[in-house]
Chains A and B, each alone.
Chain A
Amino acid sequence: MSAWRRNDDVAVVESDDHIVVVNLAGLDQQPVALSGSAWLVYDTVDGTRDTAGVIETLRTRFPDELDLARQVSDCLEALASTGLIMPTPAPPA
């Protein structure tokens, strides 16, 4: 599976307990606030981790969270659907 990366076209303003973002590739999209788990997932996306890698990274921080894999997968899909993150293109063969 491809690694996830953040969209370079997203403007980001960070606050103490959340971030607000707006996707400049879709200028009619509303600004979005990410807090809590959504912010953590977005923050973990670094261009090298795929879905399993993001889950694994967050598992070390939340070892007792039973439903973590599903929550992270859903969150990644939601972030991707709004264009905030995208799959890293596969390297040329």
Chain B
Amino acid sequence: MTTLTIPEAVRLCTAWADRLARDHGVRALVIKGHVLSAQGLREGYESVDVDLLVEPADHDRFLEVLGDHGWTPMTLSTAPKIIPLHAVTVTHLWWPITIDVHRHFPGFLADPQVVFDVLWQRSTTARVAGIEVRAPDPIGHAALVALHHLRSPDSSRAASELPDLTARVRATLTPEQVQDLAALAARTGASATLAPFLEDLGAQPAAEDDTDAEALAAWRLRTSVPESAWLVGLSRVPVWRWPLDVWHAIWLSDAEVETYHRRGAESLTRARWRRFSRGLLVTPPALARLARHKLARRRPRRHS
């Protein structure tokens, strides 16, 4: 067996996954990763996985196709989601990396099929490992990656990479293209979610989009109180289930701890304890922020 380095595997597997989708008539866009670098929207970051945005209608079929070629889904996290699950991560014995197969991309709040069609219609190709792969055009890609950062605006990566992306977009797009970006945001239900990015670019607000209010509220909760998922999850189930759900939130299954929380060679017990300790630290402030968020939403807005 060939020992691939992570950077080698990411490039080869990007080309491989793109070809697999094409061979099976599945429309898929390679997102983030090396395409982003090739388009001048990022520099100096080595991806550790392959990301594909797959046409929603064919998402499950493509997962089956991947399964036929030895890729298996990772253990699904049972953690409650404020934003619905948007991707499945698959692994393979030969490849030292994973593929994230996205059904839709959080922050684009229009119908996922509409969003995909908009991105597909303006898609382009980029060269990865000597092979042309299908990818979003720079404008669609900039919107998608900005949403990726705006989903966790307080993360260290967002703090450094979003301003970098903004600067690169400002340097490469003409004012007309920036307006095109604002129009794309409106068509994909992302005017509100991308607002900070669009404002930084100096884009004029495009025509009103018909963003789903509930989806926008979920986005705002997720981005302003990211630790609140378990608390929100509890609020959505009957009280009699709380003891069981709280216990599960604390303990998780071995497979979940192994997949999502264990670091290096540490034991499952240690990983559980570390996660529990962090939970004790973040839960009180998350409760407070959640309460403030809900209060702010209930307060009637004053129009001047």
Contacts and interface: CB of A to CB of B under 8 A. Distances in A.
A33 to B, nearest CB: 5
Q: Which of A9, A12, A20, A32 has the most CB atoms of chain B within a 10 A radius of its CB?
A: A20
A30 B1 CA distance: 8
A10 B131 CA distance: 8
A83 B69 CA distance: 19
B4 interface: yes
Describe A's contact surface by its main secondary structure: strand
Interface string B71-101: 0000000000000000000000011000000
B220 interface: no
B8 A24 contact: no
Interface residues of A, number: 16
Q: Which of B2, B11, B94 has the most CB of A within 10 A?
A: B2
A33 B129 contact: no
B1 A11 contact: no
A32 B12 CA distance: 11
Given A24-B131, A28-B69, A31-B94, A11 B15 contact: yes
B20 interface: yes
Contact of A27 (B3, B11, B23): B23
A22 interface: yes
A24 B1 contact: no
A21 B129 CA distance: 9
A15 B128 CA distance: 14
A13 B19 contact: no
A12 B142 CA distance: 27
Nearest to A22: B12
Interface string B124-135: 000011110000
A21 B9 CA distance: 10
Contacts of B3: 33
A31 B81 CA distance: 36
Contacts of A15: 5, 8
Nearest to B14: A11
A10 B16 CA distance: 9
A36 to B, nearest CB: 14
A27 B131 contact: no
Contact of B19 (A21, A24, A30, A31): A24
Nearest to B1: A30
Interface of A: 9-13, 15, 20-22, 24, 27-28, 30-33
25 contacts: A9-B19, A11-B11, A11-B129, A11-B130, A12-B129, A13-B7, A13-B129, A15-B5, A20-B2, A20-B4, A20-B12, A21-B12, A22-B12, A22-B16, A24-B15, A24-B19, A27-B69, A28-B69, A30-B2, A31-B2, A31-B8, A31-B95, A32-B2, A33-B2, A33-B4
Interface of B: 1-5, 7-9, 11-12, 15-16, 19-20, 23, 69-70, 94-95, 128-131
